[in-house]
Amino acid sequence: MEKGSFKNMKKQNQKNILSLIKNEDGISRSQIADKLKISRATVTNIVRELISYELVQEAAVGKSRGGRRPMLLNLKSKGAFVIGIEWGIDSVKAVLLNLKAKIIADDQIEVQSHDFEEYKKISFNLIEKYQNQLEDSTKIIGIGLGIHGLVDPEKGLSIFTPHFNWDKINIKKVIAKKFNYPIFIDNDVRMMAAGEIWQGRDDFVFINTGSGIGSALVFKSKLHYGNNYAAGELGHMKVKDGGPKCHCGKNGCLESLASKESIILRYKKLNNIKDITFKEIINRYQAGEKEALLVVNDALKYFSRAISNILNILNPEAVIIGGLFAEYDQLLLKKLHKIITEDTLNQIADDLKITTAFYKDFAGAVGAAEKVLNNFFEMIN
């Protein structure tokens, strides 16, 4: 066997063993060998290395199967840490996770402008804060960043940001100049979907709602990017002829009819008022006010139309909603589910699950951190 082939085999075994230990959270060396169908000597050697890297620990004694009681292995939570950041339209959100994906720290900072330097400054300050929080910052194994708009994840390049109006920026290079960690850049909604994959979901559409509307498509636990990283731009699906102009420059996009700003704008025009919050509109919607009912129900109608089209084409097992609408799941999502059921083929709607993001407000930041965790096997020497 060639030297390179042996090295690749060893790396794959490391990855498989580490993944198994993560999923089982208490498994013996012999059980690993049986499940992966590799020799016990190989398992012993690799586990010894993983313990030396402080990624794995012997945590408990298992039941005897006739001989000495085996030592059970699990991940060492303080063996590694990851940072996840989401650059949203209204704020920067960040988390520090340990190796078991537990949130150690989280922050949300409102942005004062959409200038690139604003996002960069906030993010660098947060990364330095997390570095100082740890006894050993070298245990940070990577930084994940989710950003609004079209992103080339291979290059770490921001291609098109409708709400920010930036030119193409290689964000990965910008961060790498300051911090010497592996860096993963992707669209913010795909990062949110990565968090759901970590939770065991494998066939779904993730839709983020708020100032923008975006989606991520997941098939068999793999993100679908499309031909040039533009798959999932649900917010720019045309749902009305002659509709209002969208940030992308087109007319009648879903985002121009069902985003937070579009709902607020339409309500203000109907009532000839200068200022109102989305929350106030929802309160009036709950109270049965005519104008609020008209605006919100129209937004739900267009939103459900777009989702139904996706469902009829892709037939996923679940739709996961994040962002603004998820905050009002009992009020908005139940109605949304009802409309979608009426507009979608019965066979597709029957078993469809519509639920909210596992990590709620921090879905993007946590998903970005978990994307690092999903790739950290490649970082083992």
Kindly state whether residues 15 and 132 are assigned to the same domain.
Answer: no
Residue 64 has pLDDT above 80, yes or no: no
Three-class SS state of 353: strand
Kindly state whether residues 182 and 209 are assigned to the same domain.
Answer: no
Could you report the per-residue pLDDT of 344-377, keeping only the tens digit for each? 887 777 788 889 999 999 999 999 999 998 877 5
Share of the chain above pLDDT 70, in %: 94
Question: Do 305 and 239 contact (CB within 8 A), yes or no?
Answer: yes
Q: Higher confidence at residue 161 or residue 171?
A: 171
Into how many domains does the chain fold? 3
Kindly state whether residues 147 and 99 are assigned to the same domain.
Answer: yes
Kindly state whether residues 186 and 257 are assigned to the same domain.
Answer: no
Last residue of a domain, one of 75, 93, 124: 75
For residue 240, give both structure tokens. 């009305």
pTM of the model: 0.86
Pairing, β 318-323 against β 81-87: unpaired
Could you report the per-residue pLDDT of 192-251, keeping only the tens digit for each? 999 999 888 899 999 999 988 999 999 999 999 999 898 999 999 999 998 899 988 899
Kindly state whether residues 125 and 186 are assigned to the same domain.
Answer: yes
Could you report the per-residue pLDDT of 258-300, keeping only the tens digit for each? 999 999 999 999 999 999 999 999 999 999 999 999 999 999 9
Kindly state whether residues 44 and 184 are assigned to the same domain.
Answer: no
Last residue of a domain, one of 19, 45, 75: 75
Domain limits for position 289: 201-358
Instruction: Give me the pLDDT at residue 3, please.
Output: 41
Kindly state whether residues 65 and 97 are assigned to the same domain.
Answer: no
What CATH number does residue 152 fall under? 3.30.420.40
Question: Which run of H or E residues covers position 83?
Answer: strand 81-87
Kindly state whether residues 184 and 207 are assigned to the same domain.
Answer: no
Kindly state whether residues 287 and 338 are assigned to the same domain.
Answer: yes
Kindly state whether residues 11 and 106 are assigned to the same domain.
Answer: no
Q: How far apart are CA 210 and CA 207, in angstroms?
A: 10
What CATH number does residue 38 fall under? 1.10.10.10
